[in-house]
Amino acid sequence: MSAITLEKLTKVFATGVTAVSALDLEVADGEFVVLVGPSGCGKTTALRMVAGLESITSGSVAFDGRVVNNVSPRSRDVAMVFQNYALYPHLTVYQNIGFALENKKVHKDERHRRIVATASIVGLSEMLTRKPRQLSGGQRQRVAMARAIVREPSVFLMDEPLSNLDAKLRVQMRAEVLRVHQSVGAATLYVTHDQTEAMTMGDRVAVMRDGVLQQYGTPRSLYERPANLFVATFIGSPEMNLYEAGVSSDGSLALGSQRLEMPEAGTRLAGHQGRKVIVGIRPEDLTTASAGARGTLTADMRLVEMLGDEQHAYFSIDATPFGGAGTAGQDEGLLATGVPNGVARVDSRVPVRAGERLSFTVDTARLHFFDPDSGLAIGR
């Protein structure tokens, strides 16, 4: 039985705004599930309904099969870690961790045992006598996590707990959160707007947009088989290149003046010959090739970003890009000004310079196709 089950969970505010619409989601016991999406997509509202901090318009929240819609937050056996640590500045780490246990009148000896054990799990054993002002940001977040863990809840809810940390510390704390999760083993629902965080942490990831669940699956399935254009562009960095393309009778693709042979396209694009589709090309599925080689696209380099082991090569091709900031509706006039409409991830040892013309081999077996009207994936 799933530890958390959401069925048609909906929230409509008094203003008439629908924050969450008919959300169906299951989190298994011990599973780490991430809700991800842009700001305002409804992920935090959904989490607050699970916690009991937000009223439910319709639908249900169930823990281990028991509907808890009308159960108070205190009685739901959940622990929540917030974006701001919400520590008591006048209390020590020991006292902050044990605050909830003291309120619940847990016996002093049992309280001490649980506080010490929890502090060990999160690496705070040497800091129990310190006050929050004496701790770093990462250490304060550990205290917030310990305060949740010590209650031994059946469900953990985390609302962007790492967003206040600097980039390097966020990476370290991602591993720390997962280590703690594996030690505790409770079902966890984690909210973030950071797709990298979602992909590296989640056993499964739920992508939301405008209150609607777009796709729910493993990080690999979201990356390799996005259900629609939104998921395709939201997952992956740099984001997927999208172009309008025509499908010829032989299955080849026309991208502007260039043609891309698709020997395996018969099945994937069956019924789309002579029609327009949106083709998606991941930046990592483009590799530099010799000019005139088969299955290549020729591009004009516009900008190169060196990132150590790789470089992002921004280019222009004479195909019409689809969507994306600054690219929709781009025409030959804009291309002539040097505005890029694509990017490739290239090994840093490959010489790439702005202003030159390069050919890229396209891994056609890994291309993605979408219906231009519905935005849904074709042949997924």
**How far is 193 from 207, CA to CA, in rounded Å?**
10
- Give the range among 9-13, 189-193, 264-268, 362-366 with minimum mean pLDDT: 264-268
pLDDT confidence bin for 368, thresholds 50/70/90: very high
The residue with tokens 């056993």 is 203
**Domains of the chain, residue spans:** 4-234, 241-370
- Higher pLDDT: 177 or 232? It is 232
- Higher pLDDT: 90 or 171? It is 90
- 16: its two tokens: 């008439």
pLDDT confidence bin for 380, thresholds 50/70/90: low
Q: What's the chain's average pLDDT?
A: 89
**How far is 28 from 64, CA to CA, in rounded Å?**
9
**How far is 17 from 115, CA to CA, in rounded Å?**
43
pLDDT at 332: 46
In angstroms, the Cα distances linking 30 to 153, 183, 215, 263, 358 are 12, 10, 21, 44, 49
- Give the range among 49-58, 170-179, 340-349 with minimum mean pLDDT: 170-179
Interval 190-195 mean pLDDT: 94
pLDDT at 291: 63
Residue 89 has pLDDT above 70, yes or no: yes
pLDDT confidence bin for 326, thresholds 50/70/90: very low
What is the fold of 4-234? Answer: Rossmann fold (3.40.50)
Please provide the size of the chain in residues: 380
Closest CA to 44 of 228, 193, 258, 231: 193
pLDDT confidence bin for 330, thresholds 50/70/90: very low
pLDDT confidence bin for 70, thresholds 50/70/90: very high
Interval 155-183 mean pLDDT: 86
Interval 280-296 mean pLDDT: 83
Cis peptide before 238 (omega within 30 of 0): yes
pLDDT at 228: 97
pLDDT at 1: 54
**How far is 205 from 323, CA to CA, in rounded Å?**
24
Interval 32-51 mean pLDDT: 96
**How far is 266 from 136, CA to CA, in rounded Å?**
58
Residue 333 has pLDDT above 50, yes or no: no
Interval 1-27 mean pLDDT: 94
Residue 23 has pLDDT above 70, yes or no: yes
